[in-house]
Amino acid sequence: MLEYAIIAAIKVTTIIVVVLTGCAYATWLERKLLGHLQHRIGPAYAGPYGLLQPIADAVKLIFKEDIVPDRVEKVTHSLAPIISFIPAFLSFAVIPVGDTVSIFGRQIDPVISDLNIGVLFIFAVTSLGVYGIVLAGWSSGCKYSLLGGVRSSAQMISYEIAYGLSIIGVILLAGTLSMQDLVTQQSSIFDWFIFRQPLGFIIFVICGVAETNRAPFDLPEAESELVAGYLTEYSSMKYSMFFVAEYANMITVSCVVTTFFLGGWQGPLLPPILWFAIKVFLFMAFYIWIRGTLPRFRYDQLMNFGWKILFPLALLNTMLTAWIKLW
Amino acid sequence: MGVFREVFLAIPMGFYTTLKHLFKKPVTRKYPYEKREMAPRYRGRHYLERYEDGSERCVCCGLCAAACPADAIYMEGAENAKGERYAKVYEINLLRCIFCGFCEEACPEEAIFLGHDYEFSADNRDVFIYTKEQMLANRPKDKPFKKIIRRVKRIF
């Protein structure tokens, strides 16, 4: 029992450290890549290629004054960053990063917990993050924050349905809800669900971007309309917690896409964990590429797109897959 | 079919465009570390020229001060041991100077020129009173003698 607890603790610590570092360097990657997309060079002064920039940013954010406006709901205002921060990290519990390995004679699964309903767990937990944003918007006592929070919740509801439906095709084909099983079923590249479920993949990616409130779906923090949306009244560490949560969510979605559609840790020659990292990295780069390419949706376009295009398409995809499966 | 064109053509084209630009050379200059070469006739901070033997060209005739529209030049003349006039005091107030270049055009001895220096920031106004010694030292060592292109024809 103790041994089990120790192994679990080591896994959890590793994941948290890796994901936090990943978040920090996702900001670096984003600034660098966006810069190069616009013929700039991005961060370049802190360390070689600006590699120390995330550390400098973190130090700066920690030392900044935490300004709490008079009109905020104090408790909720402080709670909201935590509420969005924790679910962002929870979902890593079920993401498998490799095959079972034996270290010191013990069989170790490189996943904190291989739940038999891992997919459901991820969907449940990633949806929780919106509470943080809504509460932040509501408790700030500021109209921009409120609009940001309202937008976020409406957007989440609209895209959650297509998000969930798009994955049902994969689940139907795989016949399992366990993440590890999903990966083992994609052992050769032709078995990857991206080729067996192309429409599902596209819908999932679009909804994943919308779920994490990233461009072109970044309406909750649309800086040209809402100052900074739900982040307007936040500063210092609370602000950075939202920031880290956003990037952790991006990494989550990248991991989930990798697991569902891109064969997870499967790949030739290189060790599984490296394959996983490469795939996640490429997907993160794709995320940033999207941000560098597409302009923001208008709000009614966003709603129309979610309800009138993605939702029917996802339904169609589900029914087609079910028909193929049964037939 | 507007929607079709937008989704299946316009969006991939957009992605292709940004990808193309990703591999182009950035236009950023790392300014304090990499300075760009100024245009040959750029009018920056002044310098005083010397003759080849090292003596100063300026004879303190006062034409530059007379030509100066901003009244930024102050000079006091004197004579040296050989009986030649020279500027004992020659000061330019860089806060008044508008860098029009009339002083270098007015100078009959081709003694004063506007160089390529453009970084003037300081935390003290006194620094901007630019003395003769500073102007003599400011002569760019690696640059050849600047040929003045006169807008006003010499009449003597």
Share of chain A above pLDDT 90, in %: 0
Q: What is the pLDDT of residue B151?
A: 56
Cα(B67)–Cα(B106) distance, integer angstroms:
6
Q: What is the pLDDT of residue A154?
A: 84
* CA A297 vs CA A155, A156, A305, B123: distances in Å: 12, 15, 10, 47
* Cβ neighbours of residue A208 closer than 8 Å, sequence gap 6 or more: A163, A253, A256, A257
Contact: A37, B11; criterion CB under 8 Å: no
Block residue for tokens 């013929």: A39
Least confident of A147-151, A200-204, B1-5: B1-5
Dihedral (CA of B58, B60, B65, B66) sign: negative
Q: What is the pLDDT of residue B143?
A: 61
pLDDT tens sequence across A266-300: 777 777 788 888 888 898 898 889 888 888 888 88
Among chain B residues, CA nearest to A36: B22
Q: Name the CA dihedral angle for A87, A88, A93, A98, rounded to a multiple of 10 degrees.
A: 170
Half-sphere CA count of B99, side-chain side, radius 13 A:
15
Exposed, middle or buried by CB within 10 Å (0-12, 13-18, 19+), for A61?
middle
Q: Which of A209, A238, A281 is nearest to A64 (CA)?
A: A238
Cα(A323)–Cα(A302) distance, integer angstroms:
30
Give me the residues paired with residue B50 across strands: B56
Residue A179 token pair: 């993440």
Q: What is the pLDDT of residue B154?
A: 54
Torsions phi, psi of A66, nearest 5? -90, 100
Cβ atoms of A183 and A263 within 8 Å: the answer is yes
- The most confident of the ranges A13-27, A86-100, A214-228 is A13-27
Q: What is the pLDDT of residue B149?
A: 58
pLDDT tens sequence across A241-265: 888 888 888 888 888 888 888 877 7
B146 within domain boundaries: no
B67 within domain boundaries: yes
How close, in Å, is residue A293 to chain B by CA atoms?
6
Q: What is the pLDDT of residue B75?
A: 87
Contacts 24+ apart (CB under 8 A), A289-293: A289/A33, A289/A37, A289/B15, A289/B18, A289/B19, A290/A209, A290/A214, A290/A215, A290/A216, A291/A30, A291/A34, A291/A214, A291/A215, A291/A216, A292/A33, A292/A34, A292/A37, A292/A38, A292/B18, A293/A37, A293/B14, A293/B15, A293/B17, A293/B18
Model-level pTM greater than 0.80? no
Q: Does residue A159 register a pLDDT over 80? A: yes
Q: What is the pLDDT of residue B152?
A: 54
Q: What is the mean pLDDT of residues A204-222?
A: 82
CB atoms within 10 A of CB A278: 15
Q: What is the mean pLDDT of residues A28-46?
A: 87
What is the overall mean pLDDT for chain A?
83
Query: Most A CBs within 10 Å: which of B25, B28, B34, as the mutation test of the A interface?
Result: B28
Cα(B81)–Cα(A249) distance, integer angstroms:
82
Cα(B110)–Cα(B48) distance, integer angstroms:
9
Block residue for tokens 């010499």: B154
B131 within domain boundaries: yes
Extract the runs of DSSP E, i.e. beta strands, from A153-257: none
Cα(B21)–Cα(A116) distance, integer angstroms:
45
pLDDT tens sequence across A103-131: 776 777 777 777 788 888 888 888 888 88
Total structural domains within chain B: 1
Q: What is the mean pLDDT of residues A288-316?
A: 86
pLDDT tens sequence across A81-102: 888 888 888 888 888 877 777 7
CATH label of the domain that carries residue B133: 3.30.70.3270
Contact: A35, B26; criterion CB under 8 Å: yes
Q: What is the pLDDT of residue B88?
A: 85
Share of chain A above pLDDT 70, in %: 99
B112-148 burial, b at 16+ Cβ within 10 Å, e below that, comes to bbbbbeeeeeeeeeeeeebebebbeebeeeeeeebee
B117 within domain boundaries: yes
Contact: B22, A33; criterion CB under 8 Å: yes
Block residue for tokens 């992605």: B15
Between A35, A44, A294, which is nearest B30 by CB? A44
Residue A216 preceded by cis peptide, ω within 30: yes
Contact: A294, B11; criterion CB under 8 Å: yes
Domain that holds residue B86: 46-137
How close, in Å, is residue A158 to chain B by CA atoms?
20
**pLDDT by position in tens, chain B (length 156):** 566 777 778 888 888 888 888 888 888 888 888 888 878 778 888 888 887 777 888 888 888 888 888 888 888 888 888 888 888 888 888 888 898 888 888 888 788 888 888 888 888 888 888 888 888 877 776 665 566 555 555 555
B1 within domain boundaries: no
Angle between helices A236-260 and A198-211 (to 10 degrees): 170
Contacts of B24 in chain A (CB under 8 A): 39
B35 within domain boundaries: no
Among chain A residues, CA nearest to B17: A293
Angle ∠(A88,A263,A244) on CA atoms, nearest 5: 20
Contact: A36, B26; criterion CB under 8 Å: yes
Q: What is the pLDDT of residue B145?
A: 56
* CA B54 vs CA A31, A301, B50, B114: distances in Å: 53, 75, 6, 19
Q: What is the pLDDT of residue B79?
A: 85
* CA A177 vs CA A122, A171, A293, A319, B135: distances in Å: 11, 7, 34, 19, 79
